[in-house]
Structure 1
């Protein structure tokens, strides 16, 4: 019998990726690619068959607000409309990104997906997942771990929630961020002209999908990775600092060129932003509120809407702890299952749950000296705190005040949509560490015992047990799952809400217990060398996908009314208004031509109801834009600052304000107690003709000068203000004669970009136009001579018109739009040629070296 060696030789630790797989590596990649395609096709199968996006609230609102722009462009030989009268009595449409040119990359992908919404979502999801996979393979991760991270990001439940809400641009922006990480990594590794070109093109694509906030968060993730590289590098501090400076210059130059490529539409947006609620202009409404003892920082309130309460962080472990979603389209007293969310935000249509298993794996990871993993860890920690918004001002307030452009965003919790990417990458590292193995005496086994990891996993399981016990105790008191305000519902409704929410919570707590036990139990088996790390990793990957899918299909349920195929029906009030005009007008195109010719100028004021004082509450809806009815109200996240101030100060509830906004028609419930509102027809809603509405242009007999916007706003809100007789001018008031004879002006054209008015007064007079004041792009002339446009009545325009017969012309032209088009048309083809040329050179060089 041979003598056994005293100390058998031990092999060095290796990762599974370093071991030669039973199949060649291309076959492994092909297998995972095929699996990803199969899963994504199943995932989006119902949407692919349906082909069109769901009729989500924001989708309908976007279509409605852009419909008039589409019609106008068709009537003007493809000229792009830069202004829209559809909402808020008029506003810039291109600068607000209401209706813009389609970028060339999206145009090509749209053709490639045959215009099918489901195929497009599947394609973008696969692009994001493929880039995560390639990035991790580049860092030496195993194919299985790389696929795990890709799956976590592809199937995060937040995305189906966004589809259901109609926030499709967020989805596209999030899908491209992994590509941005990939080309950033390539640029910092290669430092070549080809890599620089690819970085510029992908960064431009990222910006072109038109969701700056998601793009901003993606750049934050890139910055965390680049800064982490300084600390994980070895060598002198000066050398590392020099490397950081070079990286910043490279990336900064790339972003500058990318911004040049996307100058269309971003230059017009930057022109518009200072005048919008996202700009830095002070809020006159907030100043009035402070004076009235109602302190309010409108900018801070806007920026921190939808901050995640710290208590709601438990939903990363138990997704329904505060419910999953609530849909404002459904009555919470009748459609109980559409109102399961009971947290601290006004409402939510999705969950930020990213899977309990990836979260536990991220806690188990042993970071090595790699910038990617440390950058993801740092970003995850920062993002977790930023998402708390006003609940954690220690971080959010400095970021709001100091970081460029940060104050222009709202919904702080949106940053959580990148946690599946950063946490998934960290989890992939932990998964690979569990698959490490060694060969001892010809036997393959786990490389070591995971003592630390065992303790963490056991602690997580105990925490789940404690949480389950706490929920069981709290379940005895149904009131704890009610949202603020729901205590006023009838008792049976409160009980029904509590039952639905408690059942959902109990289910998810049980699932969390099972997942924690699965992770901890499997880890003990691997650590005890009773299970292969590869099998354990495969089980965790499958369990993670199943865990995410059970929530995903809650939001992707095509049986929900959101996914209804039926077209939106034209309200009866549309025909009533058309028939009340000088001549019946059968369709939207002819209606707008009629309006533009100056024959019948009007706006509508949709009323949601009356307040306790009997004043009208104007409804924020874009619906009537589908039928070319210009409205004094609307819904858009980036409205003009002055109009937002008018709205939040209650201006639209003042009759004199509605009169000066040319609100000729009021749409409300039957029985409004006002003799000057004459009902002309209706059904469920009645159309009233406002007999005191002012025309689009009129003379006033007196002009009062004020020095600031706050005074101008308070002046028009005063009960004794009569816009038919007096105008409030911001700045120096023109001198006019109150006794002069005033001949009513004649409007000959009132189009998107051009207004023409004919006047014939013996003496100079002041003309008020019921068109929203916007100082960037509008110009006025009287018989060809420039005339100053004065901010009048806080939101309108005024002109001092010389005496005599005059032709007044106002035109809108955006230099930012023109220069943006030129830059985009020049730079994008140049970088396409650069990348093509450098790629061809690289392949030719590689071919030459291989044959030599």
Structure 2
């Protein structure tokens, strides 16, 4: 009998996993036609990774550095392969078989389902829980924007939580193994912020179980499980050590690190500035979009339709064509976010089951869930709950490294789904008296349904429906009558969605009532919940992530077509020079990097000093350059004044994609000798000195490098020459001829001491930083071969540690499975007797 039951369970599990995979590809059906997703962040990724990918294709090696953005930066957070990450290859195989984004959705379903099985949840209840998790609108909004690494990282969170809970319950070894595997895969997905937030949830779980262990006097068992989980943590970190150490090392030099400038000390932290961290903060109204999707109007370009007040206004005054055009791109959104592509809707069914779980679920699991929901909600408020946010930024390790704090709501969503699933399990198991269940049902429906009904009947209590965009519309000439029509439409969609949520809450409550009254079997009740989840979440998700987001594969693989300006620049045979493209937002766009080495680019963790160079020097120079284009008679004098752009070897300016680029005759080239140098005391003096210096003849040097300048002879730059003779992203070779003593060479390459090594005639030598961001070197008299090689030990040593840790984890997994396999026949024998 046990064997028959086991075979039946295997069949059901396999069927459910196949259902997840099929459902994922049904949602993303254009993938079956060979189409691929076209998203803004994916386009930027194509641009920023082009040089790295080309080098990998040509050599089979990792460049680890790219010169295609921001004058040059490490490639760790762009595109780097780590051969030692053997464990990561397992999930790569899955995503090769089931490509993204459908593969991510299937992965999310499966990981949540596995967590449920590990925790002993019935397979069909686990199916419902997996649907509530995987169909959260949050994931589809991220996918549509191209935030693949965020989604990929989050999909492994159920494995970690399942492992931790299992370790603290009754299977410490298996729990630790699942935790190690889940965390190893999560880390390899390479989104530290999402991993950090998941870690906060695990910390809350651990504290909750510690409190209960103290109360129940089971501390020895708790600490044993904790010790095994710490080992799991170390193994998971070890399997990704090369990746983590490289990113950690670079983080100190990126915008996530502490600045040396003393500007705004109140706003400044050891990581990002506080204002930047808290720029995207939720408020109570934004938080309500998890329950009523268009509580704040939906997305920023939410279509209104022909029944809207604005449509009627335009139809009467300008005709149907004008009305249709305007209502397709109006700012229906009236919330406080600078950008909002769509609401992060959890689902009305999820909210009802969560509140029902508050009454039905007992014990430690209830309280860690409540704590996670409360903490994540409060932290998502950011600047709107500044006391807590500032405390976390100032005192909680690592919290100041990440921005967009509202992203933490994903652990709120996860915890609410788990609570809803546990509530359904308690209901089905029949461990609660009927009277108590009916009481819990009544309270849940009154609370959740009452909130929905309140906003459906009285939408005005949500606010005045005035948004930041209204000011711009008024400035553009919109009359107050038209703005009032827009506000009426915002009120209307809130009321509509509130009624919608009320319907799903009532239907969910109805299923619970029918089951309690024994008018509906458990299997049918769960099936109805699955159906309600699909009907609730599918259409909302499709509104923001649908078939129109997909295009032909060829458009994704080659997303950019070279303009006439690009084509002209690409004829230049020099392997290393830079381009400033003024036809795009240079520091928010990576398309230029697809063809050229760009002054700008797009990345959330660019080098701190380069960002400061832009803020203090590059931006004013770019504005002067734009002014020069507007007044061509002064353009030549403007070009000679652009010392910072010139020292970065900016050889071409693109001002019109359909015209030839403007060559910059003042670009200083790959390297040059200077006649003089100025030593300054600190970063503030260094960056200010760039406002008044001649980059061709003078170098600005921080006093910490003064010892390397002792042998330099002033004036030697006049009779010395240096030329780049070989270029690769991670290797540069120059030929230098120095006359009259030791000369100081400045290189138009970004200074980064963690990996770039310098050599003169094959011997390793010191180099220094000059002009705030560039490399410089004292070169002795005579003819010399000068080389720069990028060989970061964090990557190469770290990769070996990753390989060793991966082998250890895989051996541990194999050993545990083998021991369990050997014990299984014995258990079956005992059961038969």
Bin the TM-score by the shorter chain.
0.7 to 0.9
Secondary structure of the 1:799 match is: strand
- 1:296-324 Cα distance to aligned partner (Å, 9 max, x none): 66522333232212331121221111233
Higher helix share goes to which structure? 2
Q: Distance in 1 between matches of 2:521 and 2:51?
A: 62
Q: Distance in 1 between matches of 2:532 and 2:414?
A: 18
CA contact (8 A) 1:712 1:730 kept: yes
Task: Give yes or no for the alignment of 1:254 onto 2:236.
Answer: no
The residue correspondences of 1:492-507 to structure 2 (distance < 5 A) are 501=490, 504-507=493-496
**Alpha-carbon deviation of 1:815?**
0.8
Q: Distance in 2 between matches of 1:40 and 1:295?
A: 44
The residue correspondences of 1:516-535 to structure 2 (distance < 5 A) are 516-519=505-508
Q: Distance in 2 between matches of 1:31 and 1:785?
A: 64
The residue correspondences of 1:620-769 to structure 2 (distance < 5 A) are 620-627=588-595, 629-654=596-621, 655-669=642-656, 682-683=657-658, 687-716=661-690, 718=691, 720-731=692-703, 732-733=705-706, 734=709, 736-740=712-716, 741-757=718-734, 758-769=736-747
Question: Do the aligned partners of residues 246 and 301 (structure 1) sit closer, same or farther apart at CA in structure 2, a change above 3 Å counting?
Answer: farther
The match for 2:200 among 210, 217, 220 is 220
Q: Distance in 2 between matches of 1:385 and 1:70?
A: 41
The residue correspondences of 1:32-111 to structure 2 (distance < 5 A) are 33=17, 35-52=19-36, 54-75=37-58, 77-94=59-76, 96-101=77-82, 103-104=85-86, 107-111=89-93
CA contact (8 A) 2:115 2:158 kept: yes
CA contact (8 A) 1:769 1:797 kept: yes
The farther-off stretch of 512-521 and 643-652 is: 512-521
**Alpha-carbon deviation of 1:423?**
0.3
Q: Show the counterpart of 1:555.
A: 544
Q: Distance in 2 between matches of 1:156 and 1:272?
A: 33
- 1:398-439 Cα distance to aligned partner (Å, 9 max, x none): 222333322212221111123332101111233344446599
Q: Distance in 2 between matches of 1:541 and 1:464?
A: 21
Unaligned runs of 5+ in 1: 1-20, 440-444, 584-593, 596-600, 610-616, 670-681
**Alpha-carbon deviation of 1:752?**
2.0
Unaligned runs of 5+ in 2: 303-323, 622-641
Q: Distance in 1 between matches of 2:106 and 2:508?
A: 32
Q: Distance in 2 between matches of 1:563 and 1:347?
A: 28
Q: Distance in 1 between matches of 2:51 and 2:568?
A: 19
Q: Show the counterpart of 1:14.
A: none
Instruction: Output the aligned Cα RMSD.
Output: 3.4
Aligned residues: 768
Q: Show the counterpart of 1:170.
A: 150
**Alpha-carbon deviation of 1:189?**
4.1
Q: Show the counterpart of 1:15.
A: none
Question: Do the aligned partners of residues 164 and 265 (structure 1) sit closer, same or farther apart at CA in structure 2, a change above 3 Å counting?
Answer: same
Q: Distance in 2 between matches of 1:520 and 1:51?
A: 40
Secondary structure of the 1:638 match is: coil
Secondary structure of the 2:757 match is: strand
Task: Give yes or no for the alignment of 1:605 onto 2:580.
Answer: yes
CA contact (8 A) 2:87 2:810 kept: no
Q: Distance in 2 between matches of 1:318 and 1:483?
A: 22
CA contact (8 A) 2:760 2:784 kept: yes
Q: Distance in 2 between matches of 1:564 and 1:338?
A: 31
Q: Distance in 2 between matches of 1:39 and 1:618?
A: 41
Q: Show the counterpart of 1:387.
A: 380
CA contact (8 A) 2:738 2:780 kept: no
**Alpha-carbon deviation of 1:524?**
6.1
Q: Please, what TM-score do these two structures have when normalized by structure 2?
A: 0.84
Q: Distance in 1 between matches of 2:426 and 2:173?
A: 36
Question: Do the aligned partners of residues 523 and 480 (structure 1) sit closer, same or farther apart at CA in structure 2, a change above 3 Å counting?
Answer: farther
Task: Give yes or no for the alignment of 1:431 onto 2:424.
Answer: yes
Q: Distance in 2 between matches of 1:849 and 1:534?
A: 30
Q: Distance in 2 between matches of 1:320 and 1:478?
A: 12
The farther-off stretch of 303-312 and 171-180 is: 303-312
Secondary structure of the 1:728 match is: strand
CA contact (8 A) 1:766 1:801 kept: yes
**Alpha-carbon deviation of 1:561?**
7.0
The residue correspondences of 1:320-331 to structure 2 (distance < 5 A) are 320-326=294-300
The residue correspondences of 1:159-558 to structure 2 (distance < 5 A) are 159-189=139-169, 196-233=176-213, 239-279=217-257, 281-282=258-259, 284=261, 287-288=262-263, 298-326=272-300, 336-337=328-329, 340-365=332-357, 366=359, 368-435=361-428, 437=430, 446=434, 448=436, 450-471=438-459, 479=466, 482=469, 485-491=472-478, 501=490, 504-519=493-508, 538-558=527-547
**Alpha-carbon deviation of 1:603?**
0.2
Question: Do the aligned partners of residues 108 and 656 (structure 1) sit closer, same or farther apart at CA in structure 2, a change above 3 Å counting?
Answer: same
The farther-off stretch of 512-521 and 301-310 is: 512-521
Question: Do the aligned partners of residues 450 and 142 (structure 1) sit closer, same or farther apart at CA in structure 2, a change above 3 Å counting?
Answer: farther
**Alpha-carbon deviation of 1:572?**
2.3
Q: Distance in 2 between matches of 1:316 and 1:636?
A: 29
Question: Do the aligned partners of residues 636 and 563 (structure 1) sit closer, same or farther apart at CA in structure 2, a change above 3 Å counting?
Answer: farther
Q: Distance in 2 between matches of 1:451 and 1:371?
A: 22
CA contact (8 A) 1:666 1:687 kept: yes
Q: Distance in 1 between matches of 2:597 and 2:458?
A: 54
Secondary structure of the 1:450 match is: helix
Secondary structure of the 1:649 match is: helix
**Alpha-carbon deviation of 1:641?**
0.9
Question: Do the aligned partners of residues 72 and 435 (structure 1) sit closer, same or farther apart at CA in structure 2, a change above 3 Å counting?
Answer: closer
**Alpha-carbon deviation of 1:775?**
1.5
Q: Show the counterpart of 2:313.
A: none
**Alpha-carbon deviation of 1:575?**
0.7
**Alpha-carbon deviation of 1:375?**
1.7
- 1:555-584 Cα distance to aligned partner (Å, 9 max, x none): 2311247788634222222111123x2x6x
Secondary structure of the 2:256 match is: coil
Q: Please, what TM-score do these two structures have when normalized by structure 1?
A: 0.82
The farther-off stretch of 642-651 and 815-824 is: 642-651
